[in-house]
Structure 1
Amino acid sequence: MLFTELPFEDRVRTIHDLGFAVEIWGWTAKDVDALKATGAHFTSMTGYVRGDLTTPDGAAELLRTARQSIEAAARLGCSSLNVHGTGLDDKGLPVRPVEVVTGPMWLAAADTLGRLGDLGRSEGVVFTLENLNTGLDHPGTPFARAAETLALVRAVDSPGLRMNLDLYHAQIDEGNLIDLLRRSIDHVGEIQVADVPGRCEPGTGEIHYPAIATALRELGYSSVVALEAWASADSHVALERFRTAFSS
């Protein structure tokens, strides 16, 4: 999402040269060997290609492509693989939009995620279930709210499955972010950030990220904080604002 004027491998190399780790979304349209050659440290990537959590065929496809994603992740040295409540298209919209999530869907999702957690544990990786907002960017996505991803991760209770707590999405649909961190931190494998509105870097919107950083220190959080945001103007400035928000 940064340095978008550059070819993809050059974006990765630039971010690495500035002292940051790198995350990518889907890997199938990328040259994995070229990404590895950049020397960057990859902390997360999308952990499936197709599928969903609730239908038999969708769950089978999600697990099948998760195994493919593990192979790609191993080539990059990446041990965190991100998943969602359902597959998303190239516009971030659910391929199987859902108006009402039923009880049987909850049970099916927990079963699928349990199998995914078992796969992660056996292969030495962690799958992270990301919350998404439905009010703006991802309408129709099931299990999108952070409260829902937390409930599923708690129900599965596997070291191979954690939350990817995206605070941008949570602010739009839920708010009360510091309380959300306190309630969920024991189940969080990664935190993603961007400001609201606009999905740009910290300091451009309404979220007071220095307070978020203080809360994370008080909670003893020591895993990844990732900037999943557009640059409001210059990508170098965006990264420095991100660094400042979580270093002061």
Structure 2
Amino acid sequence: MYTLAVCAEMVFRDLPVEERVLRIHDAGFEAEIWDWSRHDLAALARTPAVISSMTGYLRGTLTDPEGAAELLRTAEESVRAAERIGCRRLNLHGTGLDAEGLPVAPVTGEAPGPLWPAAVRTLDRIAALGESAGVVFTLENLNTAVDHPGVPFARAADTLALVAAVGRPGLRMNLDLYHAQIGEGNLIELVRRAHGLGLIGEIQVADVPGRREPGTGEINYPAVARALTELGYEGTVAMEAWASADSELALERFRTAFTPA
């Protein structure tokens, strides 16, 4: 059976993050955070909560030499931070994102062909770092139509291809079904394909439109949950969604959607 987690950045937002992860823990979920440099790691470490994922870099890009060096350097910082809070999974994107979620190195349309081998080389170095540190880096697909215009390697098909090309246990895919629904759809088949390749490090969920908790939009998450159960998926499913109203209710809606009948 898969494990359920909740992103602490998006629920109980009137509380300090260490109190958010405690609320999430008390409700029976693991917790996730974004940029660790904005949080009190010592306070997080004192909570009994399991921090199952956090952002695995602070700055950088996948394709140009200077940006790749910065990505690797801040990934090394992130590994040390992860050790302090016992986090074993660190998340990446196709390029660094600013405070608005916009890419620091945007592209128009498809990423040009020469960028792909450069991205694979950078991700291979990241995977080696993960393996030496005993953690897994995950590469997340994003959508460019609503939330992250201009991000390279954004589609689930792109991130899956990059992770497959690297082919190392230190790098897996963070399959975000909210972003995939906006960009590609056909979610259950996408899950089956990625799971069949053994490349899923985590699955993240939110509903469409609005990026709210499951049950508030168009995605049939109970059907996704049944497919995951049939596949024997044993990883993490994390709600990375804004609470539509009450955070406690959002957590319960998430639990209900991913508790097979």
Q: TM-score range by the shorter chain?
A: over 0.9
Partner of 1:38: 47
Partner of 2:238: 226
Q: Aligned partners of 1:215, 1:8: CA distance in 2, in Å?
A: 33
2:62 aligned residue (37, 43, 53): 53
SS in 2 for 1:143: coil
Partner of 2:204: 192
Number of aligned residues? 248
Superposed CA offset, 1:52-110 (max 9, x none) = 00000000000010000000001111110000000001111101111141111001001
Q: TM-score normalized by structure 1? A: 0.99
Partner of 1:212: 224
1:150 aligned residue (156, 160, 172): 160
Q: Aligned partners of 2:44, 2:68: CA distance in 1, in Å?
A: 29
Q: Which has the higher contact order (CA 8 A, sep 6+)?
A: 2
Partner of 1:238: 250
Q: Aligned partners of 2:121, 2:163: CA distance in 1, in Å?
A: 11
Superposed CA offset, 1:29-74 (max 9, x none) = 1110011112210100000010000000000000010000000001
Q: Aligned partners of 1:18, 1:215: CA distance in 2, in Å?
A: 25
Q: In angstroms, what is the RMSD of aligned CA positions?
A: 0.7
Q: Which runs of 5+ in 1 are unaligned?
A: none
SS in 2 for 1:226: strand
SS in 2 for 1:28: helix
Q: Aligned partners of 2:234, 2:25: CA distance in 1, in Å?
A: 20
Q: Aligned partners of 2:84, 2:64: CA distance in 1, in Å?
A: 30
Q: Aligned partners of 1:14, 1:216: CA distance in 2, in Å?
A: 26
Q: Does 1:247 align with 2:256?
A: no
Q: Aligned partners of 2:166, 2:230: CA distance in 1, in Å?
A: 27
Between the aligned residues of both structures, percent identity stands at 68
Q: TM-score normalized by structure 2? A: 0.94
Partner of 1:84: 93
SS in 2 for 1:103: coil
Partner of 1:97: 106
1:203 aligned residue (202, 215, 221): 215
Q: Which amino acid aligns with 2:13?
A: T
Q: Which amino acid aligns with 2:30?
A: A
